Amino acid sequence: MKKALSSYEKTCNVILFVLLSIWFVASFGCGILFREWLDQNAPSIGNAPFGFWMAQQGSIITFVLIIIAYVILMNRADDKHGYKEDND
């Protein structure tokens, strides 16, 4: 019953996986799990320790960039596979 994944689905899955990995690393990774290590070892942003800055500013900025990337990549994938809507 299982059908082979179409190339569109493959592209979508890759986009999903890559963006979610970045999402996880930026928030849970830098902001929580490795925060202490990063505070001590990574270069600080202005006067803010890196992990702290990621938790309060950097992660949010990353999230916005992730969604923008998502919109661009998905729209491109749709166009390439002929899922373009006529009226936009």
Partner 1 sequence: MSQQTLNLIFIGLSFALYIVIAIRSRASSTKEYYIAGGGVSPFANGMATAADWMSAATFISMAGTVAISGYDGSRFLMGWTGGFVLLTILMVPFLRKFGKATVPDFIGDRYYSKTARAVAVVCALFICMTYIMGQMRGVGVVFSQLFGIGIPAGVLAGALIVFIYAGLGGMKGITYTQVAQYSVMAFAYTIPAIFIALMLTGNAIPQVGLVGNTLDGVSFLDKLNNINHELGFHQYTAGKLSTLNMFCITAALMCGTAGLPHVIVRFFTVKNVRAVRKSAAWTLAFIAVVYLTAPAVGAFARVNLIESLNEKKAKELPVWFAEFEKTGQMSWEDKNNDGVVQYRGPMHEQENELYFGNDIMVMANPSMANLPMWVIALLMAGCIAAALSTAAGLLLVLSTSISHDLMKKIIRPDLSDKDEVKWARIASFIALLIATYFGINPPSTFIAKTVAFAFGLAASSFFPTLLLGIFSKRMNKEGAIAGMIAGIGFTFSYIVYFQFMGGTSDQYFLGITPEGIGFIGMIINFIISFLVCIFTSSPPEDVIEMVEEIHIPIK
Interface residue list for partner 1 (CB under 8 A) = 8-9, 12, 16, 19-20, 23, 27-28, 31-33, 35-36, 39, 45-49, 52-53, 55-57, 59-61, 63-64, 66-68, 70-71, 74-75, 78, 83-85, 88
Smallest distance from the beta carbon of 42 to partner 1, in angstroms?
13
Report helix, strand or coil for 53: helix
Q: Is 53 exposed, middle or buried (0-12, 13-18, 19+ CB in 10 A)?
A: buried
Smallest distance from the beta carbon of 7 to partner 1, in angstroms?
13
Distance, in Å, from the CA atom of 83 to the CA atom of 34, rounded to the nearest integer, reads: 41
Smallest distance from the beta carbon of 36 to partner 1, in angstroms?
8
Distance, in Å, from the CA atom of 59 to the CA atom of 63, rounded to the nearest integer, reads: 6
